[in-house]
Structure 1
């Protein structure tokens, strides 16, 4: 085996060992102190349900979940669910309060939006951390609206994200589950909006693994991978999409140090910002792993231009 291959394998073993040790310490504690809050059955919608019907039913379900959490003595979860309701004005296409939770929220008007960004989050995104995820979605929506009023952002927490300190974050199992949910949702989203609307997938961290496994239709014109640990594919051309694939990483993002190897189904292989991967590069600025959607950042501006289609591929150079 070549020396550089031995070095990569050694780095991967060290990363896996650290993750397994931390998981062994963290998970028993978290399981003992954070029991699931009770929640009502999630609403299942027919394909004929309108966006407004889904908003109304999901908001009612969210309110009931908050009441049940409060009655069960889960005051912290209840408060976070009430915050999600935003005084009864939030627009959720779906909501499920069981376990760590799932929620799909729309910021903007789907009925008129001809540019729709779908944000796919990474690890540790749950109902308990939802406001952090939503803050990024709101920053993007405000940036888009300033330039193009007919735009919307969908905050898609539609899968059970892995924990950052867990064995699941090292494999594609959760990503495969997420991809099976995301692909039909994108088709559903196309039916809910105006004909010909463009969709852009914006995929952060482990969410980039989800997107890389999601088959997309012609409505998805762009896929942006940022803060990515890899995708499991060797090249952008190997992804199940005809969309333009972009990749960017902030200069202070710790994920640069993650070994880009794949051994026995563990790890995600080629770094998407490596020229060999073949993605279009975008300027992600100097931020860290959680900074890509912060207001005023270079990365937020770059992602907004990808959504709006105002960054031509010929303007991009490989990282």
Structure 2
């Protein structure tokens, strides 16, 4: 199978290196110094304990036209960047190409394959339905990432922890292609859960992200400090409860409580969320697909989200848009 990793950052590099080791034909879309290093020296993956380094050669480019049609494309960019690359991905897409959305937040294909809901435009995720109309929801495969990695230097990525991914068809079928994808990823040593309702793990992760990510941005605190502070903990819990209510309105039962999430997350210690790390590095933030999308869905289904509304506005005030968040989302 021809596989392309579109967005070869930390997670994308981890997937690429492990799939090459498993025997797949892998290419990557990358940019800048990371791209140059991969071209000249290959892609290196350092094990969590630092004791092993896997170096692989992959075809690398910043132009999808160079790589051609693929069997599988993993989208491993930040969710808010997807609309900008929708047109460029077209040369990679055949009629049977799987597009695996290994991104945070509500995916642009969310309402595809559901019978109980119409397919509304989600402006916070896919304005103008550009991704829907360009990539096509029929190509989409849902994916939830439970692993972490970091870029050590251009061309070198360290696997921090975890090998687990959840994947699933939007319509819940245990299709032939989802089985092929699971086999592909398992060949790279990943632990793969084929989920018959991929929206459940999407929401479990989102309930955590919609609280921890923006509140860490607002407070500047790491996970342990937020959870240990009584007032901040209360705000996190309220945000999670509101997000769970939004999921309920979409007939999704989130089977974990805020208390469970706090206990599990506290074990990560003084870890900074990805949103806080992006902010400190001057990068754009995933505020819309993570927080804005939940608020947008809440509006559609008449769910009150006062804590999330406040968190969204405070977080928007700290972003590079000078606080010009989309206030139409606020009740």
Q: TM-score w.r.t. structure 1 length?
A: 0.28
Q: TM-score w.r.t. structure 2 length?
A: 0.27
Greater fraction strand: 2
